[in-house]
Amino acid sequence: MQEEPILKVENLQTYFFTTSGMIKAVDDISFSLWPGETLGIVGESGSGKSMTAWSILGLVPKPAGRIVGGRILYRGENLLEKSASQMREIRGRHICMVMQDPLTSLNPVFTVGDQIIETLKIDSSRTSGGHRERAVELLSSVQIPAPESRMEGFQHQMSGGMRQRVVGAIAISRSPQILIADEPTTSLDATIQLQYLKMLKDIQTQTGAAIIFITHDFGIVARMCDRVAVMYAGKMVEQAQVLQLFDSPAHPYTEALLKSVPDLDVDVDFLPSIEGQPPTLDDLPEGCAFAPRCPYVFEKCEEYPDEFTVEPEHTARCWRLGGAVV
C-alpha cells in the first residue's frame, strides 16, 4: 500500500496506578490502520484490546489510568497532545465507537430522532430543519423503512435489528474516518450478529471508513477483517494479514488458540486445549507472558521477545522465530 496509514499507534503504553501496584494494561504496542481497511484486534478479557481502543479515543478511565508513553498519530497528528475539547471534536467526527449491543446503547427516554439530531447539533453550520432532514436521510441510508415516522419512535418500539441500524446511523452521522467496533464477550444470536456485521460492511462501502474490530472471536476476524493483530497480556504478540494468520500462525499462542476453537464444518473427537489460565496483569512473568503455558518454551523465553518478521506484513514476538532454536 502506497498511501499513508490513517492511524498509526507507536509504542503505546497505558498503565493503571492502583494501591496494589502498577498494572500495564497496554504495554508497548504499535500498529497501523490504512484507509478503508478492516483490522481485527483479537484477545481475551484482560488482554488490553479494549483499553487500546479507549486510549485511541482519549477515554482512558482517570485518574487511575494514564497513557505513559508512545504516540497515537491520526493523519500525522499526535492525539495525545490534543486538548480535551479537541479530542471531543475528533470523537464522532473522525473516530467513532459503535457498540454491538443495541439494547444498552440507545437512551430509552428520548426519541430516536432526538438522539440522531443530538450528534448533528455539534456541527453548528446547519439549521435545525437541516438537522432533521439529515437525520431522516441517515435513517434511510441504513435501510430503515418509513424513516420519517421512525424519527418520532422510541427504542422500545423497535426490534433488535432496527435498533442496531439506528446505532449505525448515529455512528455515521458525522461521517467518521475510523469506526471502532467493540464487542462484548457474551454473544448475540447468530442471525442478529450477522445483520450487525453486514450493516458495518454496508457503512464501510458507503463511507469508505476504516474499521477496527475489538473482539475475542476468530470467527469475526475470518468473516470481516483484512488484517489482524493478536493481543496477550497487554502486548501485541502477532500481526498479519488474515489469510497469513489462519494459514500459518507464527506465535504459539495464536496457533494454540486457533486449534482450540471447535469447527462447525468437521467432526472432531478431541480439541487440543491451552492449559493454565491467562496471567493476571499485576503479576506478569519477566519475559514472554505466554511462556508458562507455551508448549515450546525454552531458556531464552525468560527474556522479553523481539518482534520478528516472518514474511512480508507478518510479524510475531516469539524467540522461536529468531532462529536460535528450532
Partner 1 sequence: MTTAPPLVRVNAVKKHYPVTKGLILQRTIGQVKAVDGISFEIPEGQTYSLVGESGCGKTTTSRMILMVEPPTEGEVYFEGQSIQNFSGADQKNFRASVQAVFQDPWSSLNPRVKVNSIISEPITAHRRATKQEIKSEVNELLSVVGLHPLHGDRYPHEFSGGQRQRIAIARALSSRPKLIVLDEPVSALDVSIRAQILNLLKGLQKQYNLSFLLIAHNLATVRYMSHKVGVMYLGKIVEEAEPGALFTNPMHPYTKALISASLPAHPRRQREEIVLTGEVPSPLNPPSGCSFHPRCPFVMDICPTQDPDYREAEPGHKVSCHLYT
Contacts with partner 1 by CB under 8 A lie at: 44-45, 159-161, 185-187, 189-194, 216-223, 242-243, 246, 256-257, 260-265, 267-268, 270-275, 277-278
Q: Return the number of other C-beta atoms located less than 10 Å from residue 154's C-beta.
A: 15
- Residue with smaller CB distance to partner 1, 135 or 221: 221
Minimum separation from the CB atom of position 100 to partner 1 (A)? 13
The SS3 call for residue 205 is helix
Nearest to partner 1 of 132, 259 (CB atom): 259
Chain centre distance of CA 63? 23
* Identity of the residue, 177 or 204, whose beta carbon is nearer to partner 1 in the bound complex: 204
Residue 262 C-beta: closest distance to partner 1, Å? 4
CB 258 within 8 A of CB 218: yes
- Strand pairing of 38-42 and 210-215? parallel
Secondary structure E strands in 95-196: 95-99, 178-182
Considering the complex, what minimum distance in angstroms separates the CB of residue 281 from partner 1?
13
Contacts of 51 (CB under 8 A, 6+ apart): 14, 25, 26, 60, 65
Q: Which is nearer to partner 1, 153 or 278 (by Cβ)?
A: 278
Q: How far is the CB of 318 from partner 1 (least distance, A)?
A: 16
Cell of 194: 450477522
Supply the angle between the helices 112-121 and 160-172 in degrees, to the nearest 10: 10
Q: Minimum CB separation from partner 1 for residue 317, in Å?
A: 17
Which residue number, 27 or 255, has a Cβ lying nearer to partner 1? 255
| Comparison of 130 and 292: residue with beta carbon closer to partner 1 | 292
- Nearest approach, Cβ of residue 261 and partner 1 (Å): 7
Q: Whole-number minimum distance, CB 174 to partner 1, in Å? A: 29
95 versus 236: smaller Cβ distance to partner 1: 236
C-alpha cell at 107: 437512551
Calculate Rg over the CA atoms of the chain: 21
DSSP string for 227-272:
EEEEEETTEEEEEEEHHHHHHS--SHHHHHHHHHS--TTS--S---
We find the least distance from the C-beta atom of residue 228 to partner 1, in angstroms, to be 10
DSSP 47-99: SSHHHHHHHHHT---TTTEEEEEEEEEETTEEGGGS-HHHHHHHHHHTEEEEE
Toward partner 1, which CB reaches closer, 39 or 56? Answer: 39
Query: Residue 303: how many CB atoms within 10 A of its CB?
Result: 11
